[in-house]
Structure 1
Amino acid sequence: MSRLSPLLASAVLLLLMGCSEGDRPLESPVQLEGAIFGSFYQVTIADALTQGEAQRLEEGLVEVLEDVDAAMSIYRDDSELMAFNQSPVGEWQPLSDELIEVLAISQSVAEASGGAFDVTIGGLVNLWSFGSEARPRQVPDEATLNERLAEVGPDSIEIDENGLQARRLRDVLVDLGGVAKGHGTDRVGAYLDGQGIEHYLVNLGGDLIVRGYRDIESQPWRIGIEAPLDDRQEAQHILPLETISVATSGDYRNYFEEEGRRYSHTLDPRSGRPIDHRLASVTVAHPSNAWADAWATALMVLGDEEGLALARNQDLKVLMLIREENGWASVATPAFADHFGQSKMDELEIEVR
């Protein structure tokens, strides 16, 4: 009888070990996480997976996110968006389906919100030191602010959805920071759907999308709505989610202070200045996270009264945390209450307006 050489036997053993390791079932839920977009991704999957399947899923979703970054980042000179930003004013530029879709969503929310959402404010964002330019955090001078403000506006770009092209009508810097992360969240969800995954939660830097349930007992996924605190992360409300996405915009994390005054990273495109009102955060639940992301930003700019009025008019599912003298109030739209149930609103002491 022939015998395997020690070297060949070792190779066979390693191959068998590799196969068995890839086929090893993982305990549910499986969590995949890493860094992306200067932030993080965290994908939790309740479906039964082997180690090999989980590894392949993560490789695929990272590729999806890298594609989004290559298309929509303003921090990469080689991105599709930066090529558009550097194109000659007035000349049509062919763009990918994904970039056209995100620009179209942005323009739609801009129109509906009266310009409270505007992706052409990249130059202003840089001026206030919250963008891609390396600048000291300080209040800009009035003349420079007015000069850049005169350029921006939803009418400074034109989109031809059918022709998959767009053009800049003025020399503006398009910054998709208020919608691209939401689009990335949607893309990861679509990827997981395409791979046959039925139960998952995608968290892309705080933008969320869920499908199915979190365990075999059909318990819903649960998320925390953060209290607007500067010094720590603490959930103000815990909400059950099923087959929906959620995006939150707030003013209590990214800001700078000068002469005792706080300047938020969220700019009002109409004035060119950081928002300054009592609305602390806006959470929007929507089938599409890109839409939720854009709407959350627009409503955050508008403030509680004007924002609530628009949210009701658009039948949006919205939760607002509003600063008061001794804390904050939680206020939701009727559509939000209808989705989560009035009993949940009563339990969480959320006022419906």
Structure 2
Amino acid sequence: MRLLKYILIFIIAAACIFRLWQERPSYETISGRTMGTYYGIKIKNSPAAADLAAEIEKTLTEVNAEMSVFDPDSELSKINAAPAGQWLELSEPMRKVMKKAHEIYRLSGGAFDPTVGRLIDLWGFGVKKGKKRPDDKEIRALLATSGFDKIRFDKDWQKLKKDNSEVTLNLSAIAKGYGVDRVAEKLEELGIRDYVVEIGGEVRAAGRKSEDVDGWNVGIVKPEGHYTENAYVLTVKNRAVATSGDYRNFYYDGGRKFSHTISPQTGYPVENGLASVTVFHDDCMTADALATALTAMGEKEALAFAEENGLAVILFVRDGSGIVPQFSSEAKKMTGEK
């Protein structure tokens, strides 16, 4: 009788262990803080670098040292502090980001323009805090010092110089996406092929989540309420996803809402019917910059631009009765929407 009791205990314990083994996550998770936000990385269980977390931290520290406006010693801060007419040698990462930023600037007709750095500060969304509506005169004065056409590059993108010393770059609308790509490249370099990388909502996914799931589930937040509900959950593989919206970083002044995306044309925060824009692309840097450009355009121009350039884009638009989604043709193929 006692032997039977021990056998039953053993069987129950073995069953519990087997159940726990079955329910264990099919991936490893690494997380932390970077660029004033959080990052999260999931990797399908497989041989990995002995100190993968340290490798990722090192990579993100390098990106910050290149692209941060908050670090006075960063490469970007040195560019911003440089006088007019002085040629500056660019690091390989900065060349890559500047070349892509200039490409999206040209493609979007100036809707994406990272030279609005001083305007971002003026409105309280950058280095200088204190969120209040600035004086119209100040806005016009700083708008005159912005414009990507006031920066010159040599033919190989090795160097740049500014026409005006007041030109100030802020790469926040492209740097997170670039950081995602850099981490993804590091994982690939280490032989890791199944992963999802996310920094502040910008995502790049590759390979499989598990033996049963080909791809990774990525949620598209519904930009209303407490922003905790996903409007869509899509399986993404070998693609990047970036979202820009007016529902997280904003403030009210005099009963009027001002969001963090500054229009390069007016110098004011963009005001249109768009609550958020989500862009799918092969790399996260491009998706990140395009999401900002489309937000600045407004819903009609953004959808036309997406169609013209074959982009997979989901727009959430305020129509008076609520927030409704709109899809580009490429996005309809991905989601099955009609």
Per-residue displacement from partner, 1:210-252 (whole Å, max 9, x unpaired)?
1111111133211110111253421111111011000000001
Equivalent in 323, 326, 345 of residue 336 of structure 2: 345
Query: What is the aligned partner in structure 1 of residue 268 from structure 2?
Result: 273
Q: Letter of the aligned partner of 2:256 in structure 1? A: R
Query: What is the aligned partner in structure 1 of residue 134 from structure 2?
Result: 140
Query: What is the aligned partner in structure 1 of residue 108 from structure 2?
Result: 113
Query: What is the aligned partner in structure 2 of residue 84 from structure 1?
Result: 79
The answer as to whether partners of 2:207 and 2:214 remain within 8 angstroms in 1 is no
Query: What is the aligned partner in structure 2 of residue 159 from structure 1?
Result: 153
**Alpha-carbon separation, structure 1, partners of 2:37 and 2:157:** 33
Moved runs in structure 1, 4+ residues, more than 3 A?
Answer: none
Equivalent in 156, 163, 170 of residue 169 of structure 1: 163
**Alpha-carbon separation, structure 2, partners of 1:152 and 1:275:** 16
Per-residue displacement from partner, 1:75-124 (whole Å, max 9, x unpaired)?
00110111111111111100101101111111111111111110100000
Query: What is the aligned partner in structure 1 of residue 293 from structure 2?
Result: 298
CA positional deviation for 1:271: 0.3
Q: Which runs of 5+ in 1 are unaligned?
A: 1-25
Query: What is the aligned partner in structure 1 of residue 330 from structure 2?
Result: 335
Between 72-81 and 156-165, report the one with greater CA deviation.
156-165
Query: What is the aligned partner in structure 1 of residue 248 from structure 2?
Result: 253
Secondary structure at the counterpart of residue 99 of structure 1:
helix
Identity %: 34
Secondary structure at the counterpart of residue 273 of structure 1:
coil
Query: What is the aligned partner in structure 1 of residue 34 from structure 2?
Result: 36
The answer as to whether partners of 1:104 and 1:161 remain within 8 angstroms in 2 is no
CA positional deviation for 1:345: 2.6
Q: Letter of the aligned partner of 1:165 in structure 2? A: K
**Alpha-carbon separation, structure 1, partners of 2:167 and 2:188:** 37
Q: Which runs of 5+ in 2 are unaligned?
A: 1-23
Could you tell me the TM-score, scaled by structure 2's length? 0.90
Equivalent in 299, 306, 313 of residue 318 of structure 1: 313
Within a 5 Å distance, the mapping from 1:8-27 to structure 2 comes to none
CA positional deviation for 1:55: 5.3
Equivalent in 167, 172, 178 of residue 183 of structure 1: 178
The number of residues matched between the two structures is 314
Q: Letter of the aligned partner of 2:336 in structure 1? A: M
Q: Does 1:224 align with 2:219?
A: yes
Query: What is the aligned partner in structure 2 of residue 129 from structure 1?
Result: 124
Could you tell me the TM-score, scaled by structure 1's length? 0.86
Equivalent in 31, 42, 45 of residue 43 of structure 2: 45
Secondary structure at the counterpart of residue 276 of structure 1:
coil
**Alpha-carbon separation, structure 2, partners of 1:54 and 1:73:** 27
**Alpha-carbon separation, structure 1, partners of 2:136 and 2:214:** 54
Per-residue displacement from partner, 1:286-327 (whole Å, max 9, x unpaired)?
111000000000000101101111111111111111112222
**Alpha-carbon separation, structure 2, partners of 1:325 and 1:148:** 34
**Alpha-carbon separation, structure 2, partners of 1:63 and 1:161:** 31
Q: Letter of the aligned partner of 2:154 in structure 1? A: D
From the superposition, tell whether residues 230 and 72 of structure 1 become closer, same or farther in structure 2 (CA, over 3 Å).
farther
From the superposition, tell whether residues 27 and 137 of structure 1 become closer, same or farther in structure 2 (CA, over 3 Å).
closer
